[in-house]
Amino acid sequence: MSGPDEKTRTAAPSALSRDDVVHVARLARLNLTDEEVELFTAQLRTVLDHAADVASLDLTHLAPSSHPIPLDNVLRPDEPRPSLDREEVLAVAPDVEDHRFRVPRIGAEAP
């Protein structure tokens, strides 16, 4: 199911835990050694503590800005442009099989 009802995305920022770091690393497809988990937990806490000043401001009256200079309705005509040369693209691919990108077996279905 897609759409905003999927999850609630509000919570008071709590101190970043070691488990948060491990969870986030998995989300980001990164492997961390125990030492790295320790180090990143400490370093990310420092940054988030510094961000606490911002997190605690009451800005409910302001709309978030996702663009510095907002534009509307930037569209292109439905006209074809030349595609890339397939061989040039596949030439730099890590692994190729009959004109397609080859990857190891996929462990899970698409979400």
Partner 1 sequence: MTTALATAADVRSGARTARDVAEEALATVAAENERFNAFLYVLDEDARAQADAVDAAVAEGRDPGPLAGVPVALKDNLCTRGHETTCGSRILEGWRPPYDATVVERLRRAGAVALGKTNMDEFAMGSSTENSAFGPTRNPRSTGKVPGGSSGGSAAAVAAGFAPLALGSDTGGSIRQPAALCGVVGMKPTYGRVSRYGLVAFASSLDQIGPFATTVKDAALLFDVIAGHDPLDSTSLPSTPEPTLPSIDEGVEGLRVGLCRDLVEGCAADVVARVHEAADALAKAGAKVEEVSVPEFSYGLSAYYLIAPAEASSNLARYDGVRYGLRVQGDDVEAMNTATRTAGFGAEVKRRIMLGTYALSAGYYDAYYAQAQRVRTLVMAAFDRAYESYDVLLGATAPTTAFDLGAKVDDPMAMYMNDVCTIPSNLSGHPAISVPFGTGADGLPVGVQVLAPALGEAMLFRVARVVEAHAP
Partner 2 sequence: MTDWETVIGLEVHTELATVTKLFCGCRNAFGDEPNVNICPVCLGLPGALPVLNEQAVELAMRIGAALHCEIRPSEFARKNYFYPDQAKDYQISQYDLPLNADGWLELPDGFRVGVTRAHMEEDTGKLTHIGASGRINAALHALVDYNRSSVPLVEIVSEPDMRSSAQARAYVSELRGMLIATGASDGRMEEGSMRVDANVSVRPVGTTEFGTRCEIKNLNSLRSLQRAIDYEVGRQIALLESGGVVDQETRHWNEAAGRTETMRSKEEANDYRYFPEPDLVRLAPDEAWQARVRAALGPMPAGRRAALAAALGGAPSAAEVDQVNAVVDLGLDGLVAAASEAGVPTALALARAANEVAAQADAGLRLDAGSFASLLALEAGGQLSATQSKTVLSAILERGGGDPAALAKEMGFEALASDTLATAVDGVIAANAEEWTRFVEGDEGEQKKLMGFFTGKVMQATSGKANGKDVAAELRRRRG
Q: Which amino acid is at 28?
A: A
Least distance from partner 1 to the Cβ atom of residue 99, Å: 14
Q: Which does 42 bind (CB under 5 to 8 A by kind): partner 2, partner 1, Mg ion, none?
A: none
Q: Which amino acid is at 53?
A: D
- Please answer whether residues 93 and 101 qualify as being in contact, where contact means their C-beta atoms are separated by less than 8 angstroms: yes
Report 33-52 residues binding partner 2 (CB under 8 A).
none
What distance in Å separates the CA atoms of residue 26 and residue 37, rounded to the nearest whole number? 12
Q: Quick one: which of 43, 38, 39, 49 has its CA closest to 15?
A: 49
Confirm or reject binding of residue 110 to partner 2 (CB under 8 A): yes
Report 10-49 residues binding partner 1 (CB under 8 A).
10-13, 16, 20-21, 23-25, 27-32, 36, 40, 43-44, 46-48
Kindly state the helix (H) or strand (E) to which residue 97 belongs, with its residue range: strand 96-97
The number of angstroms, rounded, from the C-alpha of 97 to the middle of its chain's C-alpha atoms is 29
Which residue of 3, 4, 5, 63 would you call a contact of partner 1, by CB under 8 A? 63
Confirm or reject binding of residue 110 to partner 1 (CB under 8 A): no
Give contact residues for partner 2 (rule: CB under 8 A): 1-4, 6-7, 23, 26-27, 29, 66-67, 70-84, 86, 89-90, 97-111
